[in-house]
Structure 1
Amino acid sequence: MTSSFTIHDAAGYEQLMGRWSRVLAPRFIDFAGLADGERVLDVGCGTGSLTFALAASVDLAEVTAIDFSPVFVAAATRRNSDPRITIRQADACALPFEDGVFDRAMALLVLHFVPEADKAIAEMARVVRPEGVVAAAVWDHYGGMPGMRMMVDTVAGLNEAGRQMRARYCFQPMMQPGEMKRAFVEQGLVDVAATELMVRMDYQGFDDFWAPIAAGEGPLGKYVAALDAVERARVDAAVRDAYQAGRPDGPRSFASVAWACRGTVH
């Protein structure tokens, strides 16, 4: 499985997105459901936002977490002190588990970075027992992420690379209304339900917002890292101006929405 997510440093990812994943994780768990004694698979665990929230929620028998990135696997492993949690490198589109061995498989903020997202959903369904649950959530980049849209719309007005990056960012897999629900149904899941989950992303100032992107983290950071010095200076200044919006630098808060979907294995 290739991934469209660029990761260089786990700490940079934490500042870019991990801190918001941790806020979103309890809302996602409430939607997906969870029960004592279950065996749960976390697909695309990153630095462990969902993994550790699962373990803290109820008395699970086991949490198995996988990620394609060795950087994420190493970071999550360093954080782990719970014997119920196992973390390993694996491919979401070819899960290294037997059929029906988990009660639930969950993917938080992952499927939009998997080019073959349908295959990942099918794999999650394969490794969950009959009557078990598959659940996933992805950010609504087009209509539900005003903080990030502020950045991509700004750079789209500066150069062609920015316009191309915006088109990729806004239309990643599973992000359009109803798209993930249709994919769940097409992969044979039943009783499929969808909802929207909202959190706020609160930044202390422009540097808090911009530093991980400027360091090259994530798909937005990949665009910034490819700029020459002149274009980089233009982009830095333009995004700073958009963030500050004519007021002194300081805290800003953005409502952010994720699409969420769950279904039952038939």
Structure 2
Amino acid sequence: MASATHPPERLKVSDPNSWDTAAAQYNNALGAIHLISLTETLEPPLLAPGARAIDLGAGTGSLTYQLAERYPQLPILATDISPSMLDQLMVNPTANITTQVADMRAPVVGAAGEASFSHVFSTMAIQLLPDPAADGTLMVWARLLIPNGIVAIGVWDFDQNCRPHALWAEAAVAVDPSYVNPPLVIPGHWNGLAQLEDGLKRTGFRDIKARSQHIGFDIGKEEFMRFFWESKNPMTLDRQASFKGDLEKVKLEMGRLLDEVYDGGRSIPLSAGLVVGRKPRVD
């Protein structure tokens, strides 16, 4: 375990082993219900005969569970590159959820075949890939869909006001004014709604609808501190690893900022970019 003055080695957030260590506590539920609601504005409906959904990069199942609760008759396949994430997802399984270990860049394995799904979902995962439109990932996802099927994708809108990580930077710079917070998104990866919407257009998706959704991270001081310092979330570990000074001092400063600037952790702005679209036409 890293000490306060010797942080852990910098993590690659695309490494499945790093996500395994976060499985028990990682949860990306923020924005899921809003994405489902946006999806419901396009046909075919999730209640249509033969409807079937896949959740790519499902993690611990935040969207999967929201979808299963809202549509208990809808078959849902949840996939993730991390077996531990899926193990956590299945702690409280429902009858309409199945899981499969798969890389979201090439999820067509086993029972998941081309033109097998009416809806393809993914939340807070595609940003781990470099330009998924240019590298063909979005076209792979399109091939999973039936004709006129729907893709629905959510991302963190880092090109808007992402205060959880800005809060970290404020605390770190207060302790070490020379500190430079590394970019949240690896160069070449999408940083928000605009790039996601453009990527779907470049891939040929139709009837695109896009929304920036304020969701907030208003979980309170105690829960935010637990998330940032104890959850082993790869992104928070990455922040900590970038700081070469005394992390205990940063932790104290973060607590002060949460109390004095962020209403005890009850006012932490954060936005998600949500986009839905229809499968490209095949000429």
Pick the aligned partner of 1:3 from 8, 14, 32: 14
Q: Distance in 2 between matches of 1:159 and 1:111?
A: 33
Return the offset for 1:129: 0.9
Alignment partner of 1:139 is 2:146: no
Alignment partner of 1:217 is 2:233: yes
Pick the aligned partner of 1:203 from 219, 234, 240: 219
1:10/1:71 contact within 8 Å kept: yes
| Pair 1:186–1:4, CA change in 2 (3 A) | farther
Q: 1:204-261, CA deviations, whole angstroms, 9 ceiling, x for partnerless residues? A: 32x3212232133231223325656x521232123222222279x8452223211111
Q: Distance in 1 between matches of 2:274 and 2:187?
A: 16
Name the TM-score, length of structure 2 as normaliser: 0.79
Return the offset for 1:117: 2.7
Q: After TM superposition, list the pairs within 5 Å mapping 1:12-51 onto structure 2.
A: 12-13=25-26, 18=27, 21-33=28-40, 34-36=45-47, 37=49, 38-51=51-64
Which residue identity does 2:96 align to in structure 1?
R
Q: Which runs of 4+ in 1 moved over 6 A?
A: none
Name the TM-score, length of structure 1 as normaliser: 0.83
Structure 2, unpaired ranges of 5+: 1-12
| Pair 1:114–1:28, CA change in 2 (3 A) | same
Which residue identity does 2:68 align to in structure 1?
A
Q: Aligned to 2:184, what secondary structure does the other structure show?
A: helix
Give percent identity, aligned residues only: 20
Judging by fraction of residues, say which structure has more helix: 1
Alignment partner of 1:115 is 2:127: no
Q: Which residue of 2 aligns with 1:173?
A: 189
Structure 1, unpaired ranges of 5+: none
After TM superposition, the structure 1 stretch with the greater mean CA deviation from structure 2, 172-181 or 185-194, is 172-181
Q: Distance in 1 between matches of 2:61 and 2:188?
A: 23
Q: After TM superposition, list the pairs within 5 Å mapping 1:56-75 onto structure 2.
A: 56-75=69-88
Q: After TM superposition, list the pairs within 5 Å mapping 1:57-96 onto structure 2.
A: 57-80=70-93, 82-95=94-107, 96=109
Q: Which residue of 2 aligns with 1:237?
A: 252
Return the offset for 1:178: 1.8
Which residue identity does 2:35 align to in structure 1?
F
Pick the aligned partner of 1:99 from 114, 117, 136: 114
Judging by fraction of residues, say which structure has more strand: 1
2:163/2:269 contact within 8 Å kept: yes
